[in-house]
Amino acid sequence: MAGSGARAGASFPNVVLIGSRASGKSRASRKLAEAVGWTRISTDELLEARLGPIPSFVERFGWERFRGEERRVLAGVAGERLVVDCGGGIVENPGSIPRLRRLGTVYWVRAPAAVLRERLSRPKHRDSRPTLTGIPPAEEAALMLERRTPLYREAAESDVWSTASDGTAEEEAFEMLRAAHFGPRLALTVAGGAVAEVRAGLDAANAESGPLDLIELRLDTLDAPAPADLRAILGDLPPSLLPRLIATVRRPGEGGRFSGSEDERIGLLAEAARLGAGHCDLEFEADRESGGAHARRIRGAAPAVRLVASVHDLSGVPAGLETLPDRMAPMRPALTKVAVRAAGRADVERVHGLIRTQASHQCPIIGIAMGEAGAALRVIAGSAGAALSTYAPPRGLPAVAAGQLTAGDVRDRHRRWGRRLHAPVPVYGVVGSPIAQSLSPPMHEAAFRRLGIEAAYLRFAVPPPELADFLMAARLSGTGGLNVTIPHKRAVLPLLDSLDDDARRIGAVNTIIPMNGGFGGANTDWMGAVHSLEEALPLPGRRATVLGAGGSARAVLFGLARKGAEAVLISRDDRKAAALADEMGVGHAPLAALERIEGDILINTTPVGMTPDHDGCPAPDAAIAGHEVIFDLVFEPQRTVLLGKAAGMGKRTVPGLRMLVLQAAAAFERWTGRPAPVQAMADAARRAHDAR
């Protein structure tokens, strides 16, 4: 069969691991390379082969020469299907981060600071790993982690955690890494009316599958399936592919298309098993009705075949959902599959809960919530413990069940946000599209480190069509809290369970707070704005001119009113400005009024002057001269043309970066209930901004 012998997973990029000493990189890289048959490369091992022991080399020749050698070693690493284990300090090398990202997908293998200290205090680390700085290894690790964390965050696309202090740490890191890189374990579904169509689909599924994926052959979709068709499909497949196949001949009552007799149907499954298919899907009710004869017949044809005991409820979620795995246990299945139609969030949560009971059942569980409501679970079910995350057709092939995403869609979503939601520590993040330039991660991670909170703060790239599914996945994953940025601040409103009074009045959300199993929406943008202004002057009774009529203007107008200041709104879109001014209960003036308007504060909420169009200025000189304080919400660049002109006129200026820090601090306090370390957040934001 042309192409069916191709190596599965050949399209996956290389794996590149970074992280501090004793984080578990080396063991995880060895185990992953062995599991998937890839080549492992350790930059430290290559350096030691060339230079001898690294501490001795550094002592003789210094860090600068060592880093030069490290750069040369990294430049020489090339190839495909590689697992590259990098030294802890490689990110400090100039130019190393772009090189690492070009080499493959970069993962930060990390452990909590307390766990690192405990590992490095053990005799085997203390004695066999001499320090490179002259201080004890545990203290050195904390120092290096503080210095390198921003660099690890810049380089890595995702985190892999190793939190255990015992022998399970290696397995924990390996499992997270495997799931992160190869995505959810799938059963790629192949269907078709003709043998040639099924064979072509099998080629496509094999080429797109990962090293642990299975392939389901929906034989019931053939126009008139017969044993001869099975021999034509399975007869010449390579032995390496057959064990990964699931032969399925589904009954109409459970979503299938087979119209023959039950004897003929089970005969097809038995023939598929005899021809070498590694798995056969047998419906629990069908086997129960036969008194177990169906399972015995299939096993009689091929004793080594693995049964997938399945239940498909197209009407909804049955009352006894949680008991199904145990009720199917007498079939002695290798996998139990429960697929039910989900009408909404509550149904999806029940299926998610079933998956999470995996450890208490006799065999692995596949839990699927059919329908649009269950799309998020198809992406993250593996992180909850599902044996297979979902069934999905290869790209370009039709779905065979309600709500199915293609395998490519599942992996794309998993890469963008699914793998980042899964961690043994609380996960926070910022949601937007695009999101790569957000300064929120360095600010919040600096705050967590300063207060000794073990948590991760990540960027979630979520296109608008995926927002509802992402929020469902975040709920199921127990996310600690989220920030929301462009373009989702208003679109997120109907997707939340509650809104606080500020967010409801402003009509936009920038902070999501978990509460009572749901998500509440808040707005801290107005706090960032007024707190920034209050550092320059008291607000009660002041007169402000606000430029723009978008979401930021809403937050600013709300904050000014809360603090007793008056506002006049001006925008290029006069109709939009008039409507917003009426809604917020403030004054409105036409654009031409900017040439003569005066007040205490001039506030720019528009993107005029933002990089890359940083030469623009949203206000004429006369307007700048007519105000005492000039506040520009634009923070890229920090010194905009507007602020530069204002400073030249001797005006007090308030930069947008300050508002960014203070709104982040307010969100941090809502999530954690602890005072935010504002200066640490400001320093981190400034460093990240200046490093661009």
- Per-residue pLDDT band for 2 (boundaries 50, 70, 90) equals very low
Per-residue confidence band for 490, with pLDDT thresholds at 50, 70 and 90: very high
- CB-based contact 570:602 (threshold 8 Å): no
Which pLDDT score is estimated for 119? 79
Mean pLDDT across 319-342:
95
How high is the pLDDT of residue 33? 94
Confidence tier at 279 by pLDDT (50, 70, 90): very high
User: By C-alpha distance, which of 272, 267, 282 is closest to 245?
Assistant: 272
Instruction: Give the mean pLDDT of 552-580.
Output: 95
Joined together, the tokens standing for residue 402 give 């309600």
Confidence at 216, pLDDT banded by 50, 70, 90: very high
pLDDT tens, 55-110?
888 889 988 899 999 999 999 999 999 999 999 899 998 889 999 999 999 999 98
Is residue 168 pLDDT above 80, yes or no?
A: no
- The two counts, helices (H) then strands (E), for the chain are 29, 25
Q: Band of the pLDDT at 500, cuts 50, 70, 90? A: very high
Residue 235: exposure state from Cβ atoms within 10 A (0-12, 13-18, ≥19):
exposed
Examine residue 487 and say whether the peptide bond preceding it is cis (omega within 30 degrees of 0).
yes
Residue 4 binned pLDDT confidence (cut-offs 50, 70, 90): very low
What's the pLDDT band for 5 if we cut at 50, 70, 90?
A: very low
Per-position b or e across 55-76, b if 16+ CB within 10 A of its CB: eebbeeeeeeebbebbbebbee
E strand or H helix at 368, and its extent?
Answer: strand 365-370
Please say if the pLDDT value at position 38 is more than 80.
Answer: yes
Residue-wise DSSP of 44-71: HHHHHHHHS-HHHHHHHH-HHHHHHHHH
> What does the block give as tokens for 476?
């199921």
What would the two tokens of residue 518 be? 């749901």
Taking 80 as the threshold, does the pLDDT of residue 124 lie above it?
no
Predicted confidence (pLDDT) at residue 209 exceeds the cutoff of 50: yes
CB 276 within 8 A of CB 269: no
Of the pLDDT bands very low, low, confident and very high (cuts 50, 70, 90), residue 167 is: low
The pLDDT value recorded for residue 165 is: 66
pLDDT at 655: 95
**DSSP letters spanning 285-314:** HHHHHTTTHHHHHHHHH-TT-EEEEEEEES
Q: Residue 121 has what pLDDT?
A: 75
Cβ(18)–Cβ(109) below 8 Å: yes
645 is a catalytic site residue: no
User: Residue 247: pLDDT above 90?
Assistant: yes
Confidence check: pLDDT of 6 > 50: no
Structure confidence by residue, pLDDT tens digits, 284-317? 999 999 999 999 999 999 999 999 999 999 999 9
Lowest mean pLDDT among 300-304, 445-449, 610-614: 610-614
Per-residue pLDDT band at 368 (split at 50, 70, 90): very high
- Confidence band for 8, pLDDT divided at 50, 70 and 90: very low
Q: How far apart are CA 627 and CA 580, in angstroms?
A: 23
Contact predicate 90/17, CB 8 Å: no
Instruction: Give pLDDT tens digits for 219-246.
Output: 999 999 999 999 999 988 888 899 999 9
Judged against a pLDDT cut of 80, whether residue 645 lies above it is answered with yes
| Domains, in order of start, for the chain | 15-181 (3.40.50.300), 183-406 (3.20.20.70), 425-523+663-686 (3.40.50.10860), 538-654 (3.40.50.720)
The pLDDT score that the predictor gives to residue 3 is 35
CA distance 161 to 166: 14
Residues paired with residue 543 on neighbouring β-strands, in sequence order: 566
When pLDDT is averaged across residues 179-200 and rounded to a whole number, the result is 92
Least confident of 9-18, 40-49, 322-331: 9-18
Please give the pLDDT value at position 10: 44
| pLDDT number for residue 138 | 64
Tell me what the mean pLDDT of segment 392-398 comes to: 89
Tell me the pLDDT of the chain averaged across its residues: 91
The distance from CA 563 to its chain's CA centroid, rounded to whole angstroms, is: 38
Q: So what's the pLDDT on residue 137?
A: 63
Report residue 13's pLDDT band, with 50, 70 and 90 as the boundaries. Answer: very high
Q: How many percent of the chain have pLDDT more than 90?
A: 73
Question: Are residues 182 and 13 in contact, defined by beta-carbon separation less than 8 angstroms?
Answer: no
Given this model, what pLDDT does residue 392 score? 95
Return the number of other C-beta atoms located less than 10 Å from residue 127's C-beta: 9
Among 31, 337, 489, 645, the one annotated catalytic? 489
* CA distances in angstroms from 640 to 486, 597, 616, listed in the order given: 21, 21, 8
Of 95-99, 377-381, 394-398, 444-448, least confident by mean pLDDT is 394-398
With tokens 């001014």, the residue in question is 581
Give mean pLDDT, residues 368-385: 94
Q: How confident is the model at residue 455 (pLDDT cuts 50, 70, 90)?
A: very high
Buried-state track 179-196, b at ≥16 Cβ within 10 A, e below 16:
bbbbbbbbbbbbbbeebe
Q: Are 367 and 312 in contact (CB under 8 A)?
A: no
